[in-house]
Structure formats: structure tokens, C-alpha cells
Structure 1
Amino acid sequence: MPVQRDTRQHIISTSRDVILGRGFSAVGLSQLLSVAGVPKGSFYHYFKSKENFGEALLEDYFDSYLNRLDELLQPDGRPAADRIMSFWGLWTDPESVCEFGARCLVVKLGAEVSDLSESMRAVLREGTERIVARLSQCLMEGMRDGSLPKDLKPVQAALALYDLWLGATLMTKLRHDTHAFKNAQLVTRQLLRLD
């Protein structure tokens, strides 16, 4: 059983950069198989279809992303406001760009697959809802520890901030500059009343 799990994970892991680079629709099965170094039969042993592979790719992405997010937001002696601002800072950090920001599968595939695959859209929606829930929890902690305003609406603020940063990521890709990230940082500080 471990060999099967390793091969399946290998296909997912080796395909992520290809999908991030070209998109889901533009990458053919033969390219995925070539990058992974597995025969066609192996692919279909682990995935019923390319769409099923896409679902697994997104689920794996969100599992990794949420594990990293949990590490970043967990109480560590710093106020919650500092922890959440550190998270947003990673979106613009060149060292972290592979985890957050420009290398985000949500940004890359959100618009593309939402119209093509209801099941992949559902995975994207559920994954982003889990991210927003983590952000909301951190905002609530900030309200309790006094680092954020007591009248903040954490669920709405978390959703607005995540939407803001996803949009900033898209605009950064379109413009090839970081102005959108700088604006997102400013708006985030204003919304959280940190200035």
C-alpha cells in the first residue's frame, strides 16, 4: 500500500509546477505522464480521469497550504494581529512565493476550471472556505488579546482580506509589478485598524 500512495503522490507532486506554469486545460495527459515518468496505465490506476486527477491535485495543495497556514497562525506569544500580518507579508516575500501569492493554485486555476468542472470548483470552494475559517479564527484571537478592534466582524473581515489578496495576486501577475500587493498591505492595515 505505501508504494501505491507514493506513486500517486509522486504524480501529483511532479505535476504541480507544470499545471502552475501552463494551466490545467493546456497540459495534456502525455505531458503529465512524461514529467512524472509513469506509464499511462499507472495514471489510470490512481485517477479515473484527468478531472479526478485535478481534484486530487487541488486537495493535496489545500492540505499542504492549510498545514503551513496553521503553523504560521498558531499562538506563539505574539499578538494575533502580528501573526496575521506576517502571513500577508509572505505573499510578497520572494522566498515564500512558491507557497503563497504568485504560485497559488487558487489564482491559477480558479477562473479556468470553475467553468469546466463542477467537482474541481467544489474542491476550490471548500479549500478557500477552510482558509478563510483559519483567518477568521486568528482575527477572533486578536479581538480577545486586544491586538485587533473588539468590534471587528472576523468572518466578514477574513473573507474580505482573502478576496483582496487573491485579487492583488492576480493584478501583480497581470502588471508584472508589486503595486497591488502594496495597496493590499495598506488596505489590510486600514481594515484591521493597525495604523
Structure 2
Amino acid sequence: MNSAPSPASVDVREKILTTGRRIMGGKGFSAVGLNEVLVAAGVPKGSFYHYFGSKEAFGEAMLEDYFSAYLGEMDLIFHQPGQSKAQQLASYFQAWRASQASDDCQGRCLAVKLGAEVADLSESMRSALLRGTAGIIERLAAALEAGVADGSLTIDGSPHSVAQGLYQLWLGASIMVKIVRTDRPFDEAQALTDQLIHRPAS
């Protein structure tokens, strides 16, 4: 029988992943060597290969760790008591804007920072991105469907197609914010979001 990993083992693995997210979220995947991550984490190189077979395997685990935390945050937003689904969706996009607009978002921007880069580098990392983004879209679709049910919003089209369009809209806006160095793309994304999600007049 295999024993469960010790708390110390879990802590070291998590420390490597957290440090990698922070550094690679700022510099990119290819620009950062494993040694930089391990020195910053205070972990010997031998320990890295105990947890990860390669840099690519580390990248896949880092993305999975990122999306697990991100989806957990989404679940908290979409289960806030006393709020309609329309209000929860508004809170979600406000939180997106707040995290992505920061010049020092680092690990919070991992999907935006690494998406295009690693999708071309590694099939396993591309698959991790696909699974993670699918989870985001599924949660958005569920929130939209529930919002239609509770009467707090209406949409034109299926919840999944609208959710997919919204995610792509905000992902593109996050990239444009980095290019133009203003929040204007988020203003435009919000305006389009308000057109896609119709709320009853108060």
C-alpha cells in the first residue's frame, strides 16, 4: 500500500509551484530556467526531480495548480449568499479586471501570460490550458443559466456560447491592456458584456 505524501513533501512541492507561478507569470515560461525557480524557492535541484520529471511536466503541474485555485475562487464568487447570479457575474468580472490590470499581477495572470506561448511548445501544457479554460467557461455558463432561471438576467443564445464569447472577450482584453498600457480594453469589454447580459430595468 502506498503511503500518503508527508506534509513536508507536499509543502516543498507547493513551494516550487508557487514560486514558479510568480516568476514565470512575470517573465514567461521559456525565459525562466529551473535554477532560477529553485534558488528563489530555496529548494535543491535534486528535490525538483523528485516531484517533476521535466520542466514540461512542471509547467503542466503549475498550470493545473493555477486553474485549481482559480476555479475555487470562481466557486466562492458564484456562491455568495444574498446575491443574484447577475450580481455574482458582475463581481466576477470586477475581480478579473482588478487582478489582470495590475502591473505586478504575476501568478494571477498565468493563463494570459503563458497561454499562447506554451500552447505551441508543449501538447501536455496545451491540454492543461484547455482543461482549465473549459472549467472556467462551464462555470460561467452555469451562472448564466442560473441567472436566466432566477430572472436577474436574459441572454441571446445558449449559456455555453455566451459564456465562451465572454471568456474570449475578457482574455483578449487582458492581452490588449498589456499592449496599450491603459484600462480602456477593460472598459470596452465591460460595455460589450453589458450588451450580452441583459438585466431587467430596476
Do the aligned partners of residues 97 and 134 (structure 1) sit closer, same or farther apart at CA in structure 2, a change above 3 Å counting?
farther
- Mean alpha-carbon deviation: is it higher for 145-154 or for 68-77? 145-154
Question: Of the candidates 120, 128, 132, which is equivalent to residue 123 of structure 1?
Answer: 128
Deviation (angstroms), 1:52: 0.5
Poorly superposed stretches of 4+, deviation over 4 Å: 94-98
CA contact (8 A) 2:100 2:174 kept: no
Q: Residue 149 of structure 1 corresponds to which residue in structure 2?
A: 154
Deviation (angstroms), 1:46: 0.7
CA contact (8 A) 1:137 1:154 kept: yes
Do the aligned partners of residues 179 and 151 (structure 1) sit closer, same or farther apart at CA in structure 2, a change above 3 Å counting?
closer
Secondary structure of the structure 1 residue equivalent to 2:198: coil
- The within-5 A match list for 1:9-158 is 9-93=14-98, 97=102, 103-149=108-154, 152-158=157-163
* Whole-angstrom distance in 1 between the partners of 2:187 and 2:79: 25
TM-score after normalising by structure 1: 0.93
* Whole-angstrom distance in 2 between the partners of 1:101 and 1:7: 20
Runs (5+) with no aligned partner, structure 2: 1-5
* Whole-angstrom distance in 1 between the partners of 2:134 and 2:106: 17
Deviation (angstroms), 1:94: 6.0
* Whole-angstrom distance in 2 between the partners of 1:102 and 1:38: 19
Deviation (angstroms), 1:179: 0.6
Do the aligned partners of residues 43 and 102 (structure 1) sit closer, same or farther apart at CA in structure 2, a change above 3 Å counting?
closer
* Whole-angstrom distance in 1 between the partners of 2:17 and 2:42: 12
Provide, for residues 54-81 of structure 1, a one-character-per-residue CA deviation record: whole Å limited to 9, x for no partner: 0111011001001111000115221111
Deviation (angstroms), 1:10: 0.7
Deviation (angstroms), 1:150: 6.4
Do the aligned partners of residues 85 and 60 (structure 1) sit closer, same or farther apart at CA in structure 2, a change above 3 Å counting?
same
* Whole-angstrom distance in 1 between the partners of 2:192 and 2:151: 20
CA contact (8 A) 2:174 2:186 kept: yes
CA contact (8 A) 2:100 2:109 kept: no
TM-score after normalising by structure 2: 0.90
CA contact (8 A) 2:19 2:40 kept: yes
Deviation (angstroms), 1:85: 1.1
* Whole-angstrom distance in 1 between the partners of 2:101 and 2:79: 18
Provide, for residues 89-111 of structure 1, a one-character-per-residue CA deviation record: whole Å limited to 9, x for no partner: 1122269959x899421110110
How many residue pairs match? The answer is: 194
Identity of aligned residues (%): 48
* Whole-angstrom distance in 1 between the partners of 2:124 and 2:142: 27
Runs (5+) with no aligned partner, structure 1: none
Provide, for residues 89-137 of structure 1, a one-character-per-residue CA deviation record: whole Å limited to 9, x for no partner: 1122269959x89942111011000010000000000000001000100
- Mean alpha-carbon deviation: is it higher for 162-171 or for 86-95? 86-95
